[in-house]
Amino acid sequence: MNMTASTIDDSTLRGAADLLDQYRAVLRAVENMHDEARQQNWIAMEQCAHRYRASVDVLRDHPGYASLDATANDERRMLLAAILRHDAAVRDLISPAQARVGALLTSLRRQSKLLHSYGAHGGVVFSGASPGGIGK
- pLDDT number for residue 85: 95
Cα separation of 15 and 66, whole Å?
Answer: 9
The sign one gets for the Cα dihedral 38, 84, 82, 62 is negative
pLDDT of residue 31: 96
Please say if the pLDDT value at position 50 is more than 60.
Answer: yes
3-state helix, strand, coil in the chain (%, to 5): 85, 0, 15
pLDDT tens-digit map of 77-121: 999 999 999 999 998 888 766 666 666 677 677 777 767 677 666
At residue 6, what is the residue type? Answer: S
**Left (φ > 0), alpha (ψ -120 to 50) or beta: where does 34 sit?**
alpha
Task: pLDDT band for 67, please (50, 70, 90 cuts).
Answer: confident
Nearest to residue 87, comparing CAs of 24, 19, 44, 32? 32
Give tens-digit pLDDT for 8-42.
455 555 788 999 999 999 999 999 999 999 999 98
Report how far residue 71's alpha carbon sits from residue 102's, in angstroms, rounded to the nearest whole number.
Answer: 46
Q: Is 70 exceeded by the pLDDT of residue 1?
A: no
Q: DSSP string spanning 25-77?
A: HHHHHHHHHHHHHHTT-HHHHHHHHHHHHHHHHHHHT-GGGGG--HHHHHHHH
Residue 96's pLDDT is 66
- Domains in the chain, CATH or no CATH each: 2-93 (1.20.58)
Residue 5: the pLDDT is 44
The structure's pTM equals 0.64
